Amino acid sequence: MNFSRIVVAVCLCLFLIGCGFKLRGDHSLPAGYEYLHVQAVQSQAPLKRALLKRMEIHNIGVIEGTQYDKHPYTITLHLAPEKLERRLLSVFSTGQVAEYELILGVPYSVRFGNNDMIDAYFEIVRDYQDDPDQVLAKSRELELVLSEMRREAADRIIRRLSSQASVTK
C-alpha cells in the first residue's frame, strides 16, 4: 500500500516538473534573459519605484542608463503613465459620496532582446469607502490603497514577463 502511494507521488511530481509548473511566488526572469531595463515617461513615477523595489526583493538584475543596448539578453520594459479612475458606487442620504471604485490602469510595452515591442494593459480594481467626517484619515488610507495597488501591479508585470517570453521565442 505504501509503495503504491510513493509511486503515485513520484509520478505526480514528475508530471508537474515536466509541464513547467512553477510556484506563484517564484519571481524570476525567463530563461535566457539576464537583465531587465525599466524606462518610464517620468523618472520618479510611483509605479516605476514600486517595480524597482519589487525587483530588488526578488533579486532580479536591473540595468540602468544606456548600458542595456550592449546586452542582447536584456528585457526592456517601458512604463506608460498609469491611469487612475474613480467610479461612484454609492452616496449618503445627504448627497455626499460614500463609496468609490478605484481603477488603476497600467499600460506598458516590453521587448525581449532585439524582438519587436509587445504592448500590454491591465487594470487593478479596489473599493474605497469615503467618510467626510474623517478627511485626514481617509486621505492617508487612500495613499495606502494606491501603494498596495501599485505593488500588486509590479508583481503582475513581473509574473507576465515570464509568460510573454515563452510566446516570443
Above 80 in pLDDT, residue 18? no
- Report which DSSP code applies to 93: T
Tens of pLDDT, residues 105-162: 999 999 887 778 889 999 999 988 877 777 677 788 889 999 999 999 999 998 888 7
Alpha-carbon distance values, 10 to 1, 7, 134 (Å): 15, 5, 57
Q: What domains are there in the chain, each with its CATH number?
A: 29-168 (3.30.160.150)
The grid coordinates of residue 136 equal 485626514
